[in-house]
Amino acid sequence: MAIFWNRARSSSSPLLQRIKRHVITGGDYFILSRSFTTLEGHRPTIVHKRSLDILHDPWFNKGTAFSMTERDRLDLRGLLPPNVVSPDVQIERFMVDLKRLEVQARDGPSDPNALAKWRILNRLHDRNETMYYKVLINNIEEYAPIVYTPTVGLVCQNYSGLFRRPRGMYFSAEDRGEMMSMVYNWPAEQVDMIVVTDGSRILGLGDLGVQGIGITIGKLDLYVAAAGINPQRVLPVMIDVGTNNKKLLEDPLYLGLQQHRLDGDDYLAVIDEFMEAVFTRWPNVIVQFEDFQSKWAFKLLQRYRTTYRMFNDDVQGTAGVAIAGLLGAVRAQGRPMIDFPKQKIVVAGAGSAGIGVLNAARKTMARMLGNNEVAFQSAKSQFWVVDAKGLITEGRENIDPDALPFARNLKEMDRQGLREGASLAEVVKQVKPDVLLGLSAVGGLFSNEVLEALKDSTSTRPAIFAMSNPTKNAECTPDEAFSILGDNIIFASGSPFSNVDLGPSLLNIMWVE
C-alpha cells in the first residue's frame, strides 16, 4: 500500500484547500498535523498519521517494506532497520517463520496445531494488515480452514484466553442509550459490510457469549481475501446481551457480561438500537446476521428485512449454497434439472439453517412446477423432517411454527409405516430418499445404521449432505459414507475434510460451504 506526503507548493493549490490541517495549541507551542494520502483501491484517502503512529496502525503499516522516500516523508527514518525489504520477501520470511513456529507456539500437547497457526496469523494481523491479507490470499486453500471453520470454532471457545488486541466493536446490554454515539468511535468514515452476532449459537457449539466475535472476524477475513472487499471498510460486531452458558458465567477470565441473556422486549430493544445506530452513520452498509439462535433468527430477519439492507447468513446464506448443491446433485445423478421437484429429501435438523434450506428448496421446486399455490403445496410433500424428537408430523405437540408447514400428515405416515417421532434410521429405511441432508449440528448422526438404510435409496446415486460445522459436528465423514455405500454416491460437507482418498471418485466431493 503506497503512502505519500503531498507537499503543496502554493497557498492557492486546490489540494491544499481539500486537505484538512489540524492545529493544536497549548502554552507557547503549536503542532501542525501533516496529512498523507494513501491509495484505497482506486480512490485516495487522507491519513493524519506519521512516525510511530503509522507503525502501530495495522491498516497502514508496511513494516520494512517502506521505501526510503516514504520513510523520510513519514518521519520513519531511524525507526526501522535500514534495509528496505520487498513485500514478496517479507511474506517469504514470514512463511519460513510460520512453518518453524507452528509447533513451538502450541500451549502444550493438547493445543492443536491449527490453533497455533491461527495464533501466529493473528499476530501478523495485529501489526501489518496488508501483509496478513497477502499471505491469506496467496495461501487461501491452506489458511481458510484456519481463519474460519473448523478452527474458528476452537478459537471462539477459547477467545477470552486468546484475546490480545481488540478487533471490531462490542455493543452490550449496558450500552443502551449510548449506541448512537458509540458508532462514531469507529475510525472508518465508510463501512460497506458488518457481520454481527449475539454469540447465542456459534456454529454447532452453542452459546459462547461475547467470545462469538471470533466468528464475525473470521467471516470478514474470508470476504476480504476471497471477495476483494476493502479491509478498511468491514466491521465485525458483537452484541453482548449476556450468556446462559454456566461455564462462562462462572469463569473469572470471561470478557463478556456475566449475566443471563436478555429476552423478549429487552432483547429486541438492544438489537433495534444497534440497527438504528449503524444505519444512521453508514446508510449504505450491509449488515449480515451470523449465528443467532433459531428463536431469534427468523424473527429478526422478518423484523428488519424490509427496512434495512441486511440478511441472515444461516437462514438465507446456507439456503442459497445448499440449493446450488442440491441442483448440482440432480445433474450428478444423471437426471434433467426439471426432476428436482421429484427428489425425495430427508432433512435432519429443524433449526434456523434447516428451516431456511427447506423454505428455499420448496420455493425452488414450486417455481419449476408452475409457480402457483398448487405447486407450492405439492412441493412440501417431497420433504421428511427429523429433529431431536424424531420425525415431525401434525401429531407433534407444541410444534415450532416455522417447522409446521413441513409436518407430515399422520394418515399418510401410517401408510408409509412411519409414526410421529420415528427415528432417522426408520425414516431413511421407509422413504428411500434421493438426498439425506444434515443440518443438525450433531456429529456422527448419520450412523452406520442410517447409512446402511440409505443403500435401499431409489436413486442409483444418492446424495449425502453432511453440512454441520465445525468438522467434528459433521453428521458423518466422507470415509464413513464411502466405506458403507461405496463410491457411487455424492458427498457434500459444510467444512473441509483432509486426507480424503477417493481415487477416481474424487469428483463425488462437493464442498458446500
Strands (DSSP E) found in 131-180: 169-172
Residue indicated by cell numbers 526510503: 68
Whether residue 290 is annotated as binding a ligand: the answer is yes
For strand 345-348 and strand 310-312, is the pairing parallel, antiparallel, or unpaired?
unpaired
Question: Please, what sign has the CA dihedral across residues 281, 284, 290, 293?
Answer: positive
Catalytic residue (one of 49, 62, 132, 148)? 148
- Which secondary-structure segment (H or E) carries 364? helix 352-368
**Per-residue b or e along 127-146, where b marks 16 or more CB atoms closer than 10 Å to that residue's CB:** ebbbbbbbbbeebeeebbbb
Residue indicated by cell numbers 494488515: 129
Catalytic residue (one of 219, 267, 304, 344)? 219
3-class secondary structure, 155:
helix
What separation in angstroms does the CA of 59 have from each of 1, 3, 187, 275, 299?
9, 12, 11, 26, 36
How is residue 309 annotated by DSSP?
A: S
3-class secondary structure, 234:
strand
Whether residue 201 is annotated as binding a ligand: the answer is yes
Alpha-carbon span 270 to 296, nearest angstrom: 13
Q: List 170's β-bridge partners, or say none.
A: 238
Supply the angle between the helices 213-227 and 129-138 in degrees, to the nearest 10: 70
* Number of CB atoms found within 10 A of residue 408's CB: 24
Amino acid letter for position 217: I
Q: Is 432 a catalytic residue?
A: no
Alpha-carbon span 229 to 221, nearest angstrom: 9
Whether residue 420 is annotated as binding a ligand: the answer is no
Alpha-carbon span 72 to 261, nearest angstrom: 53
How is residue 315 annotated by DSSP?
A: I
Alpha-carbon span 1 to 109, nearest angstrom: 39
Please give the grid coordinates belonging to residue 274: 444497534
Q: Is 170 a catalytic residue?
A: no
Kindly compute the dihedral angle of the four CA atoms of residues 429, 431, 437, 439, in this order, to the nearest 10 degrees. -80
Contact 280, 184 (CB under 8 A): no
Give the active site residues: 148, 219
Which residues are documented as binding site for a divalent metal cation? 290-291, 314
Which residues are documented as binding site? 201, 290-291, 314, 469
Which residues are documented as binding site for (S)-malate? 201, 469
